[in-house]
Chains A and B, each alone.
Chain A
């Protein structure tokens, strides 16, 4: 999965990251002191239950949201002090592919390239190259409105890669996709990573994390509760359980987030610990 780099300088480094909002019920602490270290060249999975602070953390790291306290560097750039510098280094594909349905795929990519400072001819060439990369060349001149969910995701991925970012943030890239489209996105993510891009991936699908990620972190209630390689986390749980069974990443997730799994009449139910 990794490029096998000899050194692992930090692609992402967050220290004591905090985000508080003023909500109708008072101050809400969405992220409560997150420390993260993502190595250059790896695929890093960021997991957590709904509302755990995953997307808020991603939005802070990608300059889309202000940081209440703490600091974050992406590709060596302080995202709060130099947001434009950081934007040159990162690619962002957020939840529910944010695309302009009235443009064609090619127009969207060309526009994105122009906004990253490329000339018209450079932008056109880059758009062509990316359409090929995500296998959308034939659909490139069709309006995005008519794309399937999987095509939109792939186009969103391509648009995040326009400026050849060092770090790619993918926020739940396969949510809502059918299994075939999901596999296609996984293949794209692997390919992008093999080309040297660090990938920071949030997902609710533990199988996805297990398949794609070198290391993962699990966030719950705004705090990191586990961090390590999938196999190390599973081994750790197996050791703690000591019952000889082999835990899955689902078990690790449920254990880490304070939930447990019980069999009731053949159905799997999730309950609060």
Chain B
């Protein structure tokens, strides 16, 4: 079996043995979803708000919560723990491509995100959300968010490899956090103030969010999905390139 998959299975086992680590990843985004619906649901009634396409405000908010859940970077925290504890060196002393160590954790992050994303969507269905694009759209939504979780975790792992410190990795994650909020997460881009609209347009996360939202509200919108896919692919390629460089030069 491929070494990355072997290490991925090990990371999955680790996740299953630390279920408490999944609690914030699930509960915090759900908390934001419920609170935001509670605060803004009446401002945007479903029958009188064009951008909701007849759905309630939860449908508009859901992508923000899904991307928030995908941005906890749990893989990086486990990695840095191994660096500090010495097991990372044990793995580096084996004759496997060093990138397998990074990829194994990212594969596990993908599987974990599939579970969490599917569960969050299931909960949102109970809140009256419909996935306009149907079952295929649901699957695409889960896959897209989960690949984004891998990419995000990959960037967090870069911080872990560079700093080799748990505190620095956690702090480094906060650098990415504003990107989630400089997005059209409350209203569509055309309703934002001009400075926020510019910031959101420059922010790549916007296009991932809009692609996810299009599957929930509009069906299959090739333009939105295409832009989201390009952003994910470009960020993924950048993350993988930097990871290969950093782990192969790790001294």
Give chain A's interface residues, CB within 8 Å of chain B: 62-66, 84-85, 87-88, 90, 92, 94-103, 107, 111-112, 114-117, 143, 159
The winner among A85, A90, A94 for most chain B CB atoms within 10 A is A94
Residues of chain B with a CB closer than 8 A to A100's CB: 10, 14, 82, 87
> How distant is the Cα of A15 from the Cα of B27 in the complex, in angstroms?
58
Smallest CB gap from B93: residue in A: A92
A-B CB contacts (within 8 Å), total count: 70
- Residue of A at shortest CB range from B78? A102
A64 interface neighbour in B10, B14, B85, B92, Cβ under 8 Å: B92
Find out whether the CB atom of A84 lies under 8 angstroms from the CB atom of B95.
Answer: yes
**Shortest Cβ distance from A96 into B: residue:** B86
Asked if B94 and A112 sit within 8 Å, CB to CB, the answer is yes
Chain A residue at minimum C-beta to C-beta distance from B1: A114
B218 at the interface (CB under 8 A from A): no
A90 neighbours in B (Cβ, 8 Å): 93
Instruction: Check if B86 sits within 8 Å of A94, measured CB to CB.
Output: yes
Whether A87 lies near B95 (C-beta < 8 A) is yes
* Contact status B10-A111, CB under 8 Å: yes
Inter-subunit contact A64/B93 (CB<8 Å): yes
Chain B positions within 8 Å of A96 at CB level: 85-86
Assess the B91–A115 pair: CB atoms within 8 A.
yes
Closest Cβ of chain B to A265, distance in Å, is 40
Q: Is B221 an interface residue (CB 8 A)?
A: no
B86: contacting residue among A84, A95, A143, CB under 8 A: A95
Contact A116 B10 (CB under 8 A): no
Contact A92 B95 (CB under 8 A): no
Q: Are B88 and A102 in contact (CB under 8 A)?
A: no
CB distance from B112 to the nearest CB of A (A): 15
Which chain A residue has the least Cβ–Cβ distance from B82? Answer: A100
- Are A63 and B93 closer than 8 Å at their CB atoms? yes
| Nearest CB in chain A to that of B17: its residue | A102
Across the interface, do B94 and A115 meet the contact criterion of CB distance under 8 Å? yes
Q: Nearest residue in B to A116 (C-beta to C-beta)?
A: B94
- Give complex CA distance A99, B10 in Å: 13
Chain B residues in the interface with A (C-beta under 8 A): 1, 3, 6-7, 10, 13-14, 17-18, 82, 85-96, 251
- CA A92 to CA B85, docked complex, whole Å: 15
Residue A98 contacts which of B1, B10, B90 (CB distance < 8 angstroms)? B90
Q: Is the CB of A103 within 8 A of B10?
A: yes
Bound form: Cα–Cα A107–B3 in Å:
15
* Contact call B90/A159, Cβ cutoff below 8 A: yes
Residues of B within 8 A of A117 (CB): 95
By a CB distance below 8 angstroms, the chain B residues around A65 are 251
Candidates A84, A92, A101, A114; contact of B90 at CB < 8 Å: A92
Does A114 contact B6, Cβ atoms closer than 8 Å? yes
Q: What is the CB-to-nearest-CB distance from B95 to chain A, in angstroms, rounded to a whole number?
A: 4
B82: chain A residues at CB < 8 Å are 98, 100
Q: In whole Å, how far is A21's beta carbon from the nearest beta carbon of chain B? A: 9
Instruction: Contact check, B89 vs A94: say whether CB atoms are below 8 A apart.
Output: yes
B10 contacts which chain A residues (CB < 8 A)?
Answer: 100, 103, 107, 111
Whether the pair A103, B13 counts as a contact (CB closer than 8 A) is: yes
B3: chain A residues within 8 A (beta carbon): 114-115
Q: For B87, give the chain A residue with the smallest CB separation.
A: A98
The answer to whether B89 and A98 have CB atoms under 8 Å apart is yes
| Chain A residues with CB under 8 A of B93 | 62-64, 87, 90, 92
* A92-B90, A92-B93 given; A102·B251 CB < 8 A: no
**What's the Cα separation between A95 and B94 when bound, in Å?**
17
Other A-B pairs beyond A92-B93, A117-B95, 12, CB < 8 Å: A96-B85, A98-B82, A99-B85, A99-B90, A100-B10, A100-B14, A100-B87, A111-B7, A112-B90, A114-B3, A115-B91, A159-B90
Who on chain A is nearest to B85 by CB?
A: A98
A159 to chain B, nearest CB (A): 7
Within the complex, the shortest CB–CB distance from B92 to chain A, in Å, comes to: 6
Counting chain A CB atoms within 10 Å of each CB, which of B18, B90, B96, B251 scores highest? B90
